[in-house]
Each structure stands twice: as structure tokens, then as C-alpha cells.
A = this chain, B = another copy of it.
Amino acid sequence: MSHGYEAGRLDLPFVGICTFGKYPLQLDWNAIDADVAVLGAPFDMGTQWRSGARSGPRAIREASTLFSFGHSGAYDHEDDITYLPAGSTRIVDIGDADMVHTDTLTSHANIEYAVRKVLAAGALPVVLGGDHSINIPCIEAFSEQEPIHIVQFDAHLDFVDERHGVTRGHGNPLRRAAEKPYVTGLTQLGIRNVSSTAREGYEAARAMGSDILSVRQIRKLGTEAVLARIPEGKRYYVTLDIDGFDPSIAPGTGTPSHGGFTYYEVLELLDGLARRGSVVGIDLVEVAREYDPAGTTAILAAQILLNFIGRILHHRHP
């Protein structure tokens, strides 16, 4: 009986260790040599409803292996493009930032440290949350970089300044970002329904340079018109809260909000962004496996990330 290793492995999706997209593991952060570096930030002490977002990185990594069929790349018949071509795609998984239970500041500092390492290596950081508060250290890691414009997909504005002393919870990140001198503007997409931000938060956001659009407003405008409102040719940092999507496809999250985006609505906006400027940072947050019984939320996160990364790399080096 012969085995199949001589001809190389078939490497079916359900086989093997779960790194992101089955890309190589690089735990030496001084030796990152890649276009894209994927980092886990399993922090959920910033949540105000159901916890669980610390399970996000492991859930997304495992789901991402579904999309690694060992082919020469990811052929998309609608675009007639093979994204992530096997030979030239340089992605690494650098593991997780170190978390310290009970200690928000140290955990956040550890995330910032890791993102700075990625930026120092010249790679695009893709950070898997964790709750949305992990966006705070991610943005702080850009303090020495060229200015950025933030594009957020989310049900919630997350623009609370401070309540009961809390400034680094999952309701605060976009406010923290807007305060940074190197953040030139914000585009906040999908915002809907009541949430943790009161009227004052909306007013403050607009005053600080934010363009806020609900799902219904975006549907009325259309993809192109929405893209046109985003300054062209900028360096974009994209923060994707999975609850920007509809709960029908993203039940696995702490605070689902009905009336959200479909898959293609977001993909088409991301595709437009990848063509419109330079994407310099990404985080995808709030996936919680505890509420994702069929795994579809984690699959959504992996699917949108791999498609977005593929488009970014393709339009950078077509």
C-alpha cells in the first residue's frame, strides 16, 4: 500500500494546524518578512453585554482553513482574477499578543507593541479581535506613521468619551481614534438603532470629522456614491466590527443588532477601498464563538478578510 506524500500533500481544509489561512507561523516578531502579518488580540474585558470575543482569533483561524484548498490561489470567476496566487503571496501568522487578565492597560499595551512590530517590518497588520476596544492600541501603534483615514463597518458608533471612568472599553474606540492628530477623518458605515452612544456622541463625531451613514442610507446611495464620500488616495485603516453585518449571517457576536449589512454590500465597499487608496491596517473584531453554533460568523470573518486581503495585494501588485 503506497501513501500519497511523494506527490505532495492534498492538504484538505480540515487537515492540519490552524494558522490563518494555513499561512506560515512566524513567532519571532523580529523576523517578520511578509506583505501581511496576521495577529490575534483575544481581549474581551471591554464588553458591555455578552463576553466571549476572546475566542475570536481561534475561531477565525480555524474557519480560515476552509478557504485553503492547496490550489494555486483563489480564483474568482466573477472578477476573472486569481487572488492570493500561491507563488507570490507573502502572508504570515504571528500568533497572539500577550493578554493579562484583569489588566486592560497592559493587555492593550501588548497589542500596541505587536502592531508596532508589524509596522516596523513593513507588513500590513491584520488584527483579529477581541472586542472593539482592541482598536484603541492598534490605532495608537500608528503614532509614528503617515496620517490615516479610518473606515469603520459597525452597527454602533462606539464614540463614547468616558462613562464611570471608562475610556478604553468597546464603546470608546472611535472617539479615541478621532482624538489622534494623525487620524485625518472617519467614515462610519452601518450605524443603526439605539446603542451605547447618545445624541451627544453623534454630534461630537460629526464635529470631529466623521461621516456617519446607516445601512439604509447606504443602500439608497449605492456603493459608488458611498465610496465617493471617502477621501481618495488616502491611507485607510479599516476596522470591521462583525456586528456591522446582519445577525442572520453574524449571530456569533456580543451585541447583535438587526438590520445590518449583507456580505456583498461590505465586500463591494472593501473592493472599492482597495482600488481607491492604500489600506495600511485592518482589524476585525467582536467575533464570539460562544454564540456561533454553526460556525458561520467565523466563516464570514475569514471569508471577508481573505477576499479583502486578496484584493489589496492584487491592486497593489496587479
How far, in angstroms, from A263 to B40 measured CA to CA in the complex? 33
Instruction: State whether A3 and B164 are in contact (beta carbons under 8 Å apart), knowing that A102-B104, A249-B246 are contacts in the complex.
Output: no
Q: Which residues of B contact A304 (CB under 8 A)?
A: 258
Q: Quote the shortest CB–CB distance from A159 to chain B (angstroms).
A: 11
Q: Is the CB of A306 within 8 A of B133?
A: no
How far, in angstroms, from A88 to B5 measured CA to CA in the complex? 32
Q: Is the CB of A66 within 8 A of B12?
A: no
Q: At the interface with chain B, which of A45-53, A146-154, A226-234, A274-282?
A: A45-53
Instruction: State whether A109 and B216 are in contact (beta carbons under 8 Å apart), knowing that A198-B75, A255-B66 are contacts in the complex.
Output: no
Instruction: State whether A67 and B194 are in contact (beta carbons under 8 Å apart), knowing that A101-B166, A102-B168, A257-B303 are contacts in the complex.
Output: yes
How far, in angstroms, from A20 to B294 measured CA to CA in the complex? 24
Q: Which residues of B contact A98 (CB under 8 A)?
A: 3-5, 9-11, 15
**Residues 150-200 of A at the B interface (beta carbon under 8 Å):** 157, 163-166, 168-170, 191-199
How far, in angstroms, from A294 to B246 measured CA to CA in the complex? 13
Q: Is the CB of B10 within 8 A of A109?
A: no
**Residues 35-59 of A at the B interface (beta carbon under 8 Å):** 40, 42, 44-52, 54-55, 58
Q: Is the CB of B248 within 8 A of A249?
A: yes
Closest Cβ neighbor of A253 among chain B residues: B294
Q: Quote the shortest CB–CB distance from A74 to chain B (angstroms).
A: 4
Instruction: State whether A259 and B262 are in contact (beta carbons under 8 Å apart), knowing that A55-B50, A103-B166, A202-B77 are contacts in the complex.
Output: yes
Q: Quote the shortest CB–CB distance from A224 to chain B (angstroms).
A: 15
Closest Cβ neighbor of A306 among chain B residues: B194
Q: Which residues of B contact A75 (CB under 8 A)?
A: 194, 197-199, 202
Q: Which residues of B contact A263 (CB under 8 A)?
A: 258-259
Do most interface residues of chain A lie in helix, strand or loop, or is the interface mixed?
Answer: loop
Q: Quote the shortest CB–CB distance from A96 to chain B (angstroms).
A: 5
**Residues 250-281 of A at the B interface (beta carbon under 8 Å):** 251-252, 255-259, 262-264, 267
Q: Is the CB of B252 within 8 A of A294?
A: yes
Q: Mark each residue of chain A from 275 to 301: 1 if its CB lies under 8 Å from any CB of chain B, else 0.
A: 000000000000000111111100110
Partner of A76, one of B83, B169, B193, B299: B193
Closest Cβ neighbor of A248 among chain B residues: B248
Partner of A299, one of B97, B194, B258, B293: B258
Instruction: With a 10 A CB-CB cut-off, give which of A76, A197, A291, A294 has the most chain B CB atoms.
Output: A294
Partner of A106, one of B83, B164, B290: B164
Extra contacts besides A14-B42, A67-B194, A106-B165 (12): CB < 8 Å: A3-B109, A5-B110, A7-B164, A45-B101, A75-B202, A77-B191, A78-B192, A82-B199, A102-B168, A194-B306, A258-B263, A259-B267
Would you list the 4 A-B pairs with minimal beta carbon distance, nearest first?
A: A251-B294, A248-B248, A74-B194, A3-B109
